[in-house]
Amino acid sequence: DAMVIQNPRYQVTQFGKPVTLSCSQTLNHNVMYWYQQKSSQAPKLLFHYYDKDFNNEADTPDNFQSRRPNTSFCFLDIRSPGLGDAAMYLCATSRVPAASYEQYFGPGTRLTVT
Amino acid sequence: KQEVTQIPAALSVPEGENLVLNCSFTDSAIYNLQWFRQDPGKGLTSLLLIQSSQREQTSGRLNASLDKSSGRSTLYIAASQPGDSATYLCAVFNAGGTSYGKLTFGQGTILTVHP
């Protein structure tokens, strides 16, 4: 089945140690999104790629970076994780333009910072 | 700036009850509205998507309605079951601009269905 895959599902990193989260998709969608969801909060958009065009949200900290080497893969890099970056990170994809603009979500990566 | 509010924040019902979850949004210029389910510690599962031109969508025991002009949506769950226990999130998509649109989420309603 076509899907959005995130690896790893659980990631533990140390304070200040760079970490990379991975997202891949078999939907051939041209837009990929990264969301951060802290405990008991709504998902918050960090940034997204439209093809190779990177779009950063205004309030996304510089500590968060992203790479999209090809259509299928997108990475979230946290350069110096702080305790406040512990969260669920959700990847989503969509096709634009499209009739529905529906977003398809992966299972998420839960990041713990020690 | 789009803001999405979900009421109630939490709901506990006995098995078999019909229930309604509410979602409101401030900017009615939406392209679509999605309802998601999230189990504890898990990702998001899309339940229903309603286009801005539609009034409702149905899937099994779920029915979602949309009143775009008043900025409201409801998710109706019929004959609730313990397996329906989860957090239900409402999200609206505003298209346009240079960012190719944005999905804005509500805080969610935590639903508990007890046997």
Q: Do the Cβ atoms of B43 and A88 come within 8 Å?
A: yes
As given in the structure block, the two tokens for residue A16 are: 């200040």
Are the C-beta atoms of B5 and B104 separated by less than 8 Å?
no
Q: Do the Cβ atoms of B43 and A90 come within 8 Å?
A: yes
Each residue's pLDDT expressed in tens, for chain B with a length of 115 residues: 889 999 999 999 999 999 999 999 999 889 899 999 999 888 899 999 999 899 999 999 999 999 999 999 999 999 999 999 999 999 999 875 555 678 899 999 999 999 9
Q: What distance in Å separates residue A80's CA from the closest CA in chain B?
A: 24
Q: Do the Cβ atoms of A103 and B103 come within 8 Å?
A: yes
d(CA B44, CA A37): 11
The number of CA neighbours under 13 Å toward the Cβ of B60 is: 8
Residues whose CB falls within 8 Å of the CB of residue B81, separated by 6 or more in sequence, listed in order: B15, B113
Q: What average pLDDT does range A67-81 have in this prediction?
A: 96
Residue B3 confidence (pLDDT) = 92
Q: By CA distance, what is B102's nearest residue in A?
A: A45
pLDDT exceeds cutoff 70 at A99: no
Would you call A104 an interface residue with chain B, using a CB distance cutoff of 8 Å?
yes
d(CA B45, CA A104): 8
d(CA A92, CA A12): 22
Q: Do the Cβ atoms of B46 and A105 come within 8 Å?
A: yes
Q: What distance in Å separates residue A48's CA from the closest CA in chain B?
A: 8
Count other Cβ atoms within 10 Å, centred on residue A65: 17
Strand residue runs (E) in chain A: 4-7, 10-13, 19-25, 31-37, 44-50, 53-56, 64-67, 73-78, 87-94, 104-105, 109-113
Q: Do the Cβ atoms of B31 and A101 come within 8 Å?
A: yes
Residue B101 confidence (pLDDT) = 73
Residue B12, classified by CB atoms within 10 Å of its CB into exposed (0-12), middle (13-18) or buried (19+), is exposed
The answer, yes or no, to whether the previous bond of A81 is cis (omega within 30 of 0) is no
Looking only at the bridges linking them, the beta strands covering A104-105 and A109-113 are unpaired
In the structure, what pLDDT confidence band is assigned to residue A101 with cuts at 50, 70 and 90?
confident
Residue B44 confidence (pLDDT) = 92
Are the C-beta atoms of A23 and A4 separated by less than 8 Å?
yes
Residue B96 confidence (pLDDT) = 59
Are the C-beta atoms of B14 and B82 separated by less than 8 Å?
no
In the structure, what pLDDT confidence band is assigned to residue A1 with cuts at 50, 70 and 90?
low
Q: Is A73 left (phi over 0), alpha (psi -120 to 50) or beta?
A: beta
Look up residue A106 and give its DSSP letter.
-
Q: What distance in Å separates residue A107's CA from the closest CA in chain B?
A: 4
d(CA A85, CA B33): 28
